[in-house]
Amino acid sequence: MRKITFATLVLAFVATLQLAALTPQEAVDKFVSNSSLRYASLGVQVIDLDSAKSIASFRPEQANITASTMKTVVSSAALGLMGPHFRFETPVYLDGEIDGGVFKGNIIIRGMGDPTLGSTFLPNQANIVDEIIEALRACGVHTVEGTIVGDDSYYSYPYYDEDWDVGDLAYDYGTAVHALNFHDNLVKVSYTLDSRGRVTQSRFTPSVPGLKVISRCRANRGRNSITPYLDYSVPALIITGETTGKSYSNTYANPTPAPMLVDSVERALKASGIHYQYNIDARDNVNHAERTLLVLHKSPELTEIITSLLDRSDNMFAHALLRAIGARDWELKGFDGMPSDLDVVGVAAVKNWLEIQGINTEPLFMRDGSGLARANKASVNFFGDMLSMMAHRTFDGVRLCDLMPTASGRAGKTLKANPLSDLIVLKSGSMRHVQCFVGYFPANEPRYAFAVLVNNFTCSQASIREQIGVFLCNLFGEL
């Protein structure tokens, strides 16, 4: 049971002083009149879902940066195009022969875009590494002579979206989407720089064969300020900036998840008692026609993936859905080999699906599935129309609102202390000078949809979240 403290009671009392009995349009007008929004680009839309009509708005046609609210767009399209029970599949093949418990040849893991392989955020899913070991044992294999191949060729390079800021790519929120993803495409990197800025030691957890740390830091006796970048061609984590010479440790995007998975399988073979003898010659004798399926790994259902990505605002999961939509569309049209501009194909497929549902996509400027690109823009009118449509659509009994998280502490202290917090479901989106929310009220049986997109405010991020939370309390407290 939640303990109610004196501070909580004071906060609730103060919150009631901020709230007033306002009509929906009065609540909007009060919110947009704040001085911190004087120079802002913003839009607000509130839709009555029964009539599909706007009951309050401000600059509904203006397109603004969406940040992670774009994830609701790709999630909606994924539900509509692939269905709530869709699962990514990752086949594992044996290319060779088993003779007397000895397998000679290649174990080929064919990546097909599943973002959940080895994910720490979905720990209850089947573990592909364990599945491979168990399947080999079931075949009576006690020795493997050959190679483990991580086939990452299904998607073409680049693995990241061309509209992403290069400065984002090294960080845990900027992970690219490969055909073969593993461990959320993240790696903990620990390294030490000497007083001249040179790398003296480095360690990757989990292990990533071939990945390097390269320092381009300058020595500075009184300053430690470093910036990481990824170089996919080396591959390497490039460290720039200034350093006094010290040890660092952080989690970064892994530019080569396939070698991480291969290394994990090799280690698991040895730990399981299956003797593994690396034989590079086996790779040269690949015979695709004689491959046999060893394992067909399946991801969790789409509903579980969407629930996770909306709750945690996972950019990699969301962008993987866009690429899956693009790949599906490409293959349905009979084309071979994924194009390098697969994201463009995915965006076109998403917009086409929305238009079939009767949504005007002219105010939607979509570049990726996650919202990481600042070029992603949309009007609140678009979000109002899309959310209204999705409120009236179910996919085998699943609705978008069922997969969205509650407001909880996502929109300031006032809303968090208000009972409305558990009655509103929403997706937030934030980046520098951007704060957005789209969602529904009430959570279980929505009667209203809302969208608030604010760019270029002059207050702090925490302050604008608080202002939007107060607005939602004013808006829904009387409805």
| Model confidence pLDDT, tens digit, residues 23-79 | 999 999 999 999 999 999 999 999 999 999 999 999 999 999 999 999 999 999 999
Q: Flag whether pLDDT at 15 surpasses 60.
A: no
- In the numeric block, the tokens 């409305």 are attached to 420
Which domains can be identified in the chain, with CATH numbers? 6-84+303-476 (3.40.710.10), 88-300 (no CATH)
Q: For residues 384-409, give the mean pLDDT.
A: 97
Q: Which tokens belong to 110? A: 């064919």
Residue 303: CB atoms within 10 Å: 20
pLDDT value for 2: 35
| Residue 279 binned pLDDT confidence (cut-offs 50, 70, 90) | confident
Distance (Å, whole) CA 6 – CA 27: 29
Q: What is the percent of the chain where pLDDT is above 90? A: 90
pLDDT recorded at residue 145: 96
**pLDDT band (50, 70, 90) for residue 7:** very low
**Res. 13: pLDDT tops 50:** no
pLDDT digits 0-9 by tens, 201-241: 999 999 999 999 999 999 998 899 999 999 999 999 999 99
Residue 282 or residue 188, greater confidence = 188
pLDDT band, residue 286 (cuts 50/70/90): low
**Model-level pTM?**
0.93
Measure the CA–CA gap between 387 and 441, rounded to whole angstroms: 11
Give just the sign of the alpha carbon dihedral 447, 60, 40, 172.
positive
* CA dihedral sign, ordered 75, 424, 429, 453: positive
State the pLDDT at residue 11: 42
Closest CA relative to residue 57, chosen from 48, 66, 65, 67: 48
Render pLDDT for 415-473 as a digit per residue (tens, 0 to 9). 999 999 999 999 999 999 999 999 999 999 999 999 999 999 999 999 999 999 999 99
8 vs 398, which has greater pLDDT? 398
